[in-house]
Chains A and B, each alone.
Chain A
Amino acid sequence: MKRGEWWLDHRRLVLHEPSKTLLAADLHLGYLAIRRDANESVPVETLAEELADLESAWNELAPTALLIAGDLMERGTTGLLDAFSSWARDRKITLSGLVPGNHDTGLKACPIPILHEGHQLGRWHVSHDGESGPYPVVHGHRHPAVPIPGHGMAPCFVFMENRLVLPAYSVNAAGGSVARRSVVPWDGAEVIAVAGNRVETLGSIENLRDVLYSSKRTRRKP
């Protein structure tokens, strides 16, 4: 689905069409490894498995560069940065860089360009949390999601004239419901949800909240 300069992809990332830059946020790589380190008996997941959707999007959309809008890792480790860099190199993926997020610690001697001040894609500024300008800003951090009847929470994009919020790329991230103002505090935002291979607009956040809250109200006695 297209919105302005952006192609919103069902694999939970976006393509900035003018610069042909693929943008993803909140990958939280190494999540399972950290739980395993904490001695939880959870399955092994390889980096390739975690990045399968990203690789598929790269091959299909044919961008020229990949930019990460923060929280590339669940917890910063040099080993993981090297592994990610090798993964990209093996697939001939050009890494524009990483705008560091709150989870991206230990970035010394990083093989990837670190963009502490964010990055500019055309008129859009890329940051991790979008808390301050310049605007328009594209960012992650909030993990917006919407409840789909019978199917749990679906990741979603939130789009306005001067802001684009990306869903968490990581399937391990718990989504924050867009019904909560703490997740989407901006009036007039458009919510665009992803389910399976479908991307659908759900209209304005106000309208969506009305529908979600009225569903709760109808669960009353006959």
Chain B
Amino acid sequence: MKAVSAPVTPVLLNAFMAVQGRPTPLQWRAWECLAENPHALISSPTGSGKTWAALLPILSDINPNPTDSTLVLWISPLKALVSDTATRISQFAELLRCQNSSLARIRVSARTGDIPASQRSRDRAHPPHIWCVTPESLAIWLTIPAMVNRLKNVRWLVVDEIHSVAASRRGADLALSLERLEERLENPARRIGISATCHPLAAAGRFLFGPGRPFATVECADDSPLELRVEHLPHEFDTTKTILERIFKELDHHQTIIVFTRTRASAERLAWTCRKERPALPVGIHHGSLAPEIRRETETRLRAGHLRLVFSSTSLELGMDIGAIGLVVLVHPSGEVVRLLQRIGRSGRGPGKTRQGLVLAANPSELLEAVVTATAGREGATEALMPIGVCEDVLCQHLMAEAMLGSCRLESFLEVARRTGPYQELEAGVFLECLAYLRGELGNQQSLVPRLRLLPDGRHVIARPRMKYQLRQSLGAISATASRKVMLRDSTSDRVMGEVEPAYADALRAGDRFLLEGKCVQVARLSGPDVEVVEASRMASPPRWTGEPLPLSPLLASHLQALRDEAARIIAENPSLLASWLEKRHQLPPKESSVLAEYFISQECHGEIPHANCLIAEISPCGDEWLLAMHTPLNRAGNEAIARLVARRLARNRRAAGQSMVADLGLAFRLEHPPGQPAEWLRIILKPENALAELEEAVAPSDLVRRRFQEIAVTALMTPRLLPKNKGSRSPKVGGGGWVARRLYDQCLRRAPGFILARQALREILMTSIDAAAALAWLERVACLPAKVRWLPCPSPFIRHWTQLGQGPELAPESPEDALKNLRNKIMGVSA
């Protein structure tokens, strides 16, 4: 496709310069690029003018006579960002028009699930020229023929914050939506991708443009000054107060501070305590379980400079405009270099302005991780973007959506899908299996309720018309768990505060207290699905929200190992040099470098610093049991794979019993008796032969895979996101919320051992929650290394401070009968 538009027209350029001043170098380069190329990817840090870099060529193209139809779709991943972008573009276009009345009035609107009916009616009557939408709204539109018709004149497709969707299932969903829309356009659209700094940029480009669209990249590295401090903040008693006291000191130097925490619960705890300690300080809180209205208010107040402190988990990471932030504080390391830079990039905000960040570490292990992350951040060594590949459940959803647009020959959709980045290598066999599932086939039998019906002439139609409504309710690749709303009742009005997970809500009783929105609330009534609360004043704990802690990236795990190796080498030469080396190499203050040096030396004295050329394990007594711990260079997902493989191998022993624990950089087993010859035992349980097959056997029936299957079943429209509340149709509750994971998974596999959605669940878990590839590579390496086992009186410092420590698989016999017998013997105190 040849570029047809001129660069930014002189009229627009003059108007722009009158409003905004001289264009930034990025903007000049982007405009030149788009003058010569039909598609472009613009990547630069926050505040460098990416939005106007994309917008001006578009305005040049659609001015001065925009047709009375939608010409631009601007897609952003968050509802808040969609609304924010629409407002900014609309205001900016109007400012330009004030400079030169020959410019056309451009209609801009936003469409998300929150947009009121009145706005929708206005948009129907007068389609906006530029429509800002979420990927999910676009997916819904692509099931409505009238809506698709309204979009047929679209000339530009802009995808904002592309780095935040390219590696996720939402990215797979968006890619298919864009390609399906292209099929129905009058003329091919031009695509612009906007991204924060990510690498490799070509990967982001291949995701957005697919294999067949040549594209150009405009990249601007973030060379704004970075002041990044890492501090050790030891606490003995109250972590929350210690953190707050440290943050309060920074308020003397910065007008506004954002504090990023690892979890929503931490953000709640800090906000509540802060309000108690400093009632006069304007404080906000922002996370994904708060009501959208509360989040919007926090963003507005932040932008207006009315807040001094805001506590957030991950929701303030993405690029909506929140004004000038003086300092970003991270409570605990970020787990990823990309995340660290994204968060710190919220400060400064603008070319030449200094980005200021402070990472607080609670113990030496966190300090080590923070140091490594900060150094990688300063050196620009970030994790590589890994764009998403084939997601069969998302494909099923789009096949259904295609059928909803009218009966069609869906087999031709294979080529459409292959034009997208994620599906460019989609196998015909997989595609046909998806179609077979949708037709209700399971294991060559018509066992399932079909979603599609195949007509004699080869076209597919929706099997039952009433499914259309149900399917539109389920569209979107985000696996939304049904949450329970928390309603605050006070003397003036009732309002939604936020939401909690069903399991947490089910355990609540009237009078229970918890924290939400940085306030203490007390349960007044539990009626229907909602939790009604009133404000209370006493201390409480925040709710539990699952699936939050941020994993350590494999890149940082390998950097940590490298630092350990280097520290071990320096200690072997001259331990007194370690602190000064750390100070110089990692730009650490003397106090922190002393803490770390002491940590390494303590590990070396107590046990040994794990290094890459040896497998090091420790055995120490632990109450009535023994702890066998292994140091590895893997992050938690890699260690989870090792733990599951070991549990599988031990399960062949009918008396296997114990508990595994997994963490970043190691795993451990609590055993009743230590192995007699531990080095030999390790060789056997860690042998690489047949490891992948055994790991798959271990993981396939696990809760991890079952829960992923449950999510996939919803996306693939096997079970609805919400059960219908029609008269005479009661949702079958006796199976409980986990029935799909617990029973349907087994039932499908019994009838069809290779059922495509079950295969997808297993594959995804082996790539994400359980890093099978990293684990297997480590096993291969370790098989050639010597093994050292140390018997210690207690676990070494490194193990005592493991981060992201959590429960791994239980060690249990393979057969449920033997497992029951072991439990009985344990309870009865009978030796096996």
Give the B-binding residues of A (Cβ under 8 A). Answer: 26, 28, 31, 34-45, 71, 74-75, 103, 143, 148-152, 154, 168, 170-174, 193-198, 200-203, 207-208, 211, 215, 218-219, 221-222
Contact = CB atoms under 8 A, between A and B. Distances in A.
B668 interface: yes
Nearest to B443: A43
Contacts of B449: 36, 39-42
Given A74-B732, A208-B827, A219-B807, A43 B739 contact: no
B735 A173 contact: yes
Given A218-B670, A219-B659, A203 B827 contact: yes
Contacts of A200: 820-821, 823-824
Chain B interface size, under 10 / 10 to 19 / 20 to 34 / 35 or more? 35 or more
Contacts of B450: 41
Given A31-B734, A152-B742, A171-B743, A207 B827 contact: yes
Contact of B732 (A34, A151, A197): A34
Given A103-B734, A174-B738, A197-B817, A222 B748 contact: no
B805 interface: yes
B464 A39 contact: yes
B505 to A, nearest CB: 15
The 4 closest A-B pairs by CB, nearest first: A150-B812, A174-B736, A195-B820, A195-B816
Given A39-B467, A151-B819, 17 more contacts: A41-B718, A42-B449, A43-B447, A43-B448, A75-B730, A149-B819, A149-B822, A152-B703, A168-B734, A174-B735, A196-B815, A200-B821, A200-B823, A200-B824, A222-B622, A222-B627, A222-B799
A174 B819 contact: no
A192 to B, nearest CB: 10
Interface stretch (B327-335, B569-577, B719-727): B719-727
Contact of A150 (B629, B800, B809): B809
Contacts of A174: 734-736, 738-739, 742
B823 A28 contact: no
A30 to B, nearest CB: 9
B661 interface: yes
B228 interface: no
A219 B720 contact: no
Interface string B286-320: 00000000000000000000000000000000000
Contacts of A34: 732
B719 A41 contact: yes
Interface in B617-673: 620, 622-623, 625, 627, 629, 647, 651, 657, 659, 661, 668, 670
* A41, A42, A196, A201: residue with the most chain B Cβ atoms closer than 10 Å: A41
A121 B719 CA distance: 42
A198 B743 contact: no
A37 B739 CA distance: 16
A142 to B, nearest CB: 12
25 contacts: A28-B734, A39-B724, A41-B448, A41-B451, A42-B719, A42-B744, A74-B732, A148-B812, A148-B819, A148-B820, A149-B812, A149-B822, A151-B819, A154-B816, A170-B734, A171-B743, A172-B735, A172-B739, A196-B817, A198-B817, A202-B824, A203-B824, A215-B659, A221-B800, A221-B802
A193 B451 contact: no
Contacts of B467: 39
B53 interface: no
Contacts of A40: 449, 718-720
Nearest to B731: A38
B196 interface: no
Nearest to A210: B827
Given A74-B732, A171-B743, A222-B800, A150 B811 contact: yes
Nearest to A32: B747
Interface string B789-832: 00000010001101001010111110111011111101110000
B391 interface: no
Interface of B: 440, 442, 447-451, 464, 466-467, 470, 620, 622-623, 625, 627, 629, 647, 651, 657, 659, 661, 668, 670, 703, 717-720, 723-724, 729-732, 734-736, 738-739, 742-744, 747-748, 751, 795, 799-800, 802, 805, 807, 809-813, 815-817, 819-824, 826-828
Contacts of B623: 218
Contacts of A195: 816-817, 819-820
A148 B816 contact: yes
B409 to A, nearest CB: 23
Contacts of B442: 43
Contacts of A75: 730, 732
Nearest to B670: A218
Nearest to B656: A150
A172 to B, nearest CB: 5
B734 A154 contact: no
A71 B733 CA distance: 13
A41 B393 CA distance: 14
A173 B647 CA distance: 28
A202 B730 CA distance: 37
Nearest to B471: A39
B717 A149 contact: no
A41 B717 CA distance: 8
B802 A222 contact: yes
Contacts of A221: 800, 802, 805
A202 B470 CA distance: 46
Contacts of B647: 150
A218 B748 CA distance: 36
Contacts of A45: 747
Contacts of B661: 219, 222
A23 B738 CA distance: 28
A154 B822 CA distance: 14
Given A37-B729, A219-B807, A221-B800, A74 B447 contact: no
A222 B795 contact: yes
B816 A44 contact: no
Contacts of B466: 39
Contacts of A152: 703, 742
A138 to B, nearest CB: 20
Nearest to A192: B824
Nearest to B624: A218
Nearest to B620: A222
Contacts of A36: 449
A195 B739 CA distance: 19
Contacts of A150: 647, 651, 809-813, 819
B554 to A, nearest CB: 24
Contacts of A143: 734
A173 B736 CA distance: 7
A149 B718 CA distance: 30
Nearest to A40: B719
A38 B729 contact: yes
Most chain B CB within 10 A, of A37, A149, A174, is at A149
A191 B805 CA distance: 33
B713 to A, nearest CB: 8
